[in-house]
Amino acid sequence: MQTELEFYQLTAVGDREINQDCMAHRVCADYAVFVVADGLGGHHGGEKASHFFCRGLLLLAAIYQEQIKTKGQAAVKDWVAATVVKMRELFADDPEVRNAHTTCAILYLDRTQVITAHCGDSRIYRLNSREVLWRTRDHSVIQELFDEGLIGERDMGVHPDQHRLTRSINALIEPSVDIQTFPAMQSGETFILCSDGFWEAIKEPELLLLAQPESGKSELKKIAQMMILRAGGRSDNVTVQWVRKL
C-alpha cells in the first residue's frame, strides 16, 4: 500500500484552549490504517482519551491485521476492544479516566477491502471526483433528527444539539462501534476522516474539491483554515486526514 497511497493530515486548535483531537496512521506494504479521535472531558481528560486511543490502536495494529485477513469485522471489533484495554493501562491511576471520553473514526485498507469502524460524530467520507459516495452515520442527537427528516445535512453543523452524542468511547466501558466492510479502494478515490470541527462548517462543493485529481495538501490546508474562519470565533478543534489511491 505504501506506493499506492497519497495522504496528508493536519490538526488545529481552532478557538479552543487545548486541542483534544488526535490522529494517527500506519501505512505498510500490505495494509494501511488511519484514525481520527476527538476527546471529550474536563481539563485534559479528553485530550488523554483521544491520544491514548490512537496510540493503543497503532500499538496493536500488526497483531490484528493478520487476523483481519481471515476474520474481517470480528477481528476489527476485537482490535477496538483491545485498544480500550490499552487505554485503561495508559490512564493507570489517573482519576480523569471516568469522565474522559473520545470519538473515533478508523479506516483500514488492504488490496481486497475497505473496513471502517466509528463511534461518535467523527466521520469518514468516501468520494470520487463527481460525488460523495457515502459517509459514516454519526452517533448523535442531530443524526437522529436527520434520519427522521426533521433537519437537512446543512443544518447538522449549526444545530444547538450538535455536540450531543449518543455514543462514545471510555476506557472503563466496553466499546460499541459500528463496523462496515466495502469493496477495495479504487484508483482516484479519496477518503476524508475528520472531527466535527471540520465537517460542521463544510459544504459539499468543498468536499468535492478535495476529491479532484489536482487536489492535495494545499487545498486541504485552505479548506481547513476556511472552516475555522467560518466558525466566527467559535471554532472547535479541527482535524482531518486526506487519503487518495494513485
Q: State phi, psi for 190 to the nearest 5 degrees.
A: -130, 140
Q: Tell me the pLDDT tens digit for each residue of 88-117.
A: 999 999 999 999 999 999 999 999 999 999
Q: What HEC string does the chain produce?
A: CCCCEEEEEEEECCCCCCCCEEEEEEECCCCEEEEEEEEECCCCHHHHHHHHHHHHHHHCHHHHHHHHHHHCHHHHHHHHHHHHHHHHHHHCCCHHHHHCEECEEEEEECCCEEEEEEECCCEEEEECCCCEEEECCCCEHHHHHHHCCCCCHHHCCCCCCCCCECCCEECCCCCCCEEEEEECCCCCCEEEEECHHHHCCCCHHHHHHCCCCCCCHHHHHHHHHHHHHHCCCCCCCEEEEEEEEC
pLDDT at 41: 81
pLDDT at 71: 95
Q: Which residues contact 158 (CB under 8 A, 6 or more apart)?
A: 200
Q: Tell me the pLDDT tens digit for each residue of 160-203.
A: 998 899 999 999 999 999 999 999 999 999 999 999 999 998 99
Distance separating alpha carbons of residues 179 and 164, to the nearest angstrom: 21
Which string of b and e fits 100-118 if b means at least 16 CB within 10 Å?
bbbbbbbbbbbeebbbbbb
Q: Considering the entire predicted model, what is its pTM?
A: 0.96
> Which residues does residue 32 pair with via DSSP β-bridges, in sequence order?
27, 109
Q: What is the dihedral of CA 213, 22, 194, 89, to 10 degrees?
A: 120
Q: Which residue type sits at 195? A: S
Sketch out the chain's domains with CATH numbers. Answer: 5-245 (3.60.40.10)
CA distances from 140 to 143, 168, 215 (A): 5, 10, 31
pLDDT at 227: 87
CA distances from 75 to 54, 61, 179 (A): 17, 11, 10
Q: Tell me the pLDDT tens digit for each residue of 200-237.
A: 989 999 999 999 999 989 999 999 998 898 888 889 99
Q: Which residue type sits at 144? A: E
pLDDT at 42 exceeding the cut of 80: no
pLDDT at 154 exceeding the cut of 90: no
pLDDT at 1: 81
Distance separating alpha carbons of residues 75 and 155, to the nearest angstrom: 36
pLDDT at 73: 97
Q: Tell me the pLDDT tens digit for each residue of 43-72.
A: 789 999 999 999 999 999 999 998 998 999
